[in-house]
Structure 1
Amino acid sequence: MCGRFLMGATLEELLKRYKIQEDVEKEFKYGEIFPNDTSIVVVRDKQNFLKNMKWGFINPYNNRPIINARSETVYQKSMFKDSFNKRRCLIPVTAFYEWKKEHKTSVKYEIKIANKNIFSLAGIYISYKDNKNQTYTVFTILTTSPSKPIEDIHGRMPVIINEEFEEEWLSNKDTNFEFTKSLMKPYQDSLLIKQADSHNDLRLF
């Protein structure tokens, strides 16, 4: 599970990092992002651009948002497969959080990539209509099995897309299916892991 992440980059840093020419979104949430929050997402339509989206697909069975999708089955599940084929996105983060069960408590860990201020989590998105017939867009984060440094903390981790493959991930047309699947694997490069300052419980899960 990826239950929270940190967006600590400025708009200028995001525009430069993702080679975006027009800053369509002027404002976005800065700091720790929770499920149901709106966060900045990178999508592509001829060129990259930023879009604010709400975190969590609509769950048809209860009010809990679906904030993660398993990479092993995302291209098979009816709720996700169309988005996987046509609407892939990148979620820029400066860190993500995982919780380790220790006795009767859960200890929060902050996880970053060494020498990278901003990195990209793999996501998919979809648009819905609200009860006023207004369109809004949501995303979910893809997860995979944990890499060695994380497996002692949690049984899953978000899919991190290496910078060199970000354009391929965003290119939702004429993409090699097997190659796209191959990008959804545990991250193998260096990670910086430290115990976070707070021990907030995951209130929704």
Structure 2
Amino acid sequence: MCGRFSLTATPEDVRALFAYIDLPNFPPRFNIAPTQPIATVRMEHGERRFALVRWGLVPSWVKDPASFSLLINARAETAAEKPSFRAAMRHHRCLIPASGFYEWRRTPEGKQPYWISPADGGLMAFAGLWDTWSDPDGGDIDTGAVLTTTANRTIGQIHHRMPAILMPEAFDDWLDTGNVMARDATKMLVPAPEDYLTAVPVSPRVNKVSNDDPDLQSEVEPEEPVAQASKPEKPKRASAGASKPGDGQMDLF
């Protein structure tokens, strides 16, 4: 799965890779967690656009988001058939810019976090889905999920799943929901090449959502015993209500 990731590149570098027409300004984020805003790139009227969505997809047909599970990930193998993701795979595919992600390896003593990022230090794109949920009382909220696939051999030593990462040459086809069918888009969701990513052990400080600084990505010697480290903190569920002007829904990014 993918439960934490980072986007620390400058707005200019992100725009250069993803070629959207907007000019957003945003700070570096070192520990992005579910229910927080995440950057996405989608196709609108033939042009790539930047948009913030809440991490945790809520399908448009859901009547009560408060009673609906938080869908931060979607399995690439089944997303095109699952009711929660089927429509988004057909009509609402997006790219999610990322500098890297965190994953936890189970050990006899507990869990050791790892920072996983491109070997060349650059940006990457997770394959993502988004949807809009409308409050019957007024207001809309865009939400999204990261697609995951089977881990390659490198990441498989840490966890059996990893984000589905798309290379720049695949961006156009992934975003082209008008001409590229969901079944064909699914074929793009494969494990990253073995030499694409590197993984280093990092401090269990990343387990705490409020920690959001560069030191989270510094390599450390695995702590012994790891059992003394806290478990990854689960972010609190965001309010189920739709965003309205001034409610702070996207203030975190």
Taking the aligned partners of 1:165 and 1:68, their CA distance within structure 2 comes to: 20
1:194 aligns with 2:212: no
CA contact (8 A) 2:10 2:28 kept: no
2:179 matched residue in structure 1? 174
2:83 matched residue in structure 1? 78
Taking the aligned partners of 2:202 and 2:116, their CA distance within structure 1 comes to: 9
2:105 matched residue in structure 1? 100
1:164 matched residue in structure 2? 169
1:204 aligns with 2:203: no
CA contact (8 A) 2:91 2:178 kept: yes
Cα deviation for residue 180 of structure 1 reads 1.4
Taking the aligned partners of 2:180 and 2:15, their CA distance within structure 1 comes to: 25
2:40 matched residue in structure 1? 41
Cα deviation for residue 197 of structure 1 reads 2.6
Given candidates 101, 107, 115, the residue that maps to 1:110 is 115
Taking the aligned partners of 1:83 and 1:157, their CA distance within structure 2 comes to: 20
Which segment drifts farther, 176-185 or 41-50?
176-185
**SS of 1:150 mapped into structure 2:** helix
Taking the aligned partners of 1:28 and 1:51, their CA distance within structure 2 comes to: 15
Q: CA RMSD in A?
A: 2.0
CA contact (8 A) 1:29 1:39 kept: no
Cα deviation for residue 202 of structure 1 reads 2.6
CA contact (8 A) 1:28 1:40 kept: no
Cα deviation for residue 79 of structure 1 reads 1.0
1:135-171 Cα offsets, whole Å, 9 max, x none, are 1100001111110001111111110011110111111
Tell me: CA distance 1:132–1:27, structure 2 relative to 1, closer, same or farther (3 Å): farther
Q: Percent identity?
A: 26
TM-score by length of 1: 0.91
Taking the aligned partners of 2:6 and 2:15, their CA distance within structure 1 comes to: 17
**SS of 2:130 mapped into structure 1:** strand
1:163-198 Cα offsets, whole Å, 9 max, x none, are 110111111111144431211111114211101233
1:5 aligns with 2:11: no
Q: Which amino acid aligns with 1:73?
A: T
Q: Which amino acid aligns with 2:199?
A: I
Taking the aligned partners of 1:194 and 1:187, their CA distance within structure 2 comes to: 17
**SS of 1:35 mapped into structure 2:** coil
Cα deviation for residue 65 of structure 1 reads 1.6
Cα deviation for residue 103 of structure 1 reads 1.6
Q: Which amino acid aligns with 1:43?
A: R
CA contact (8 A) 2:101 2:115 kept: yes
Structure having the larger proportion of residues in helix: 2
CA contact (8 A) 1:3 1:202 kept: no
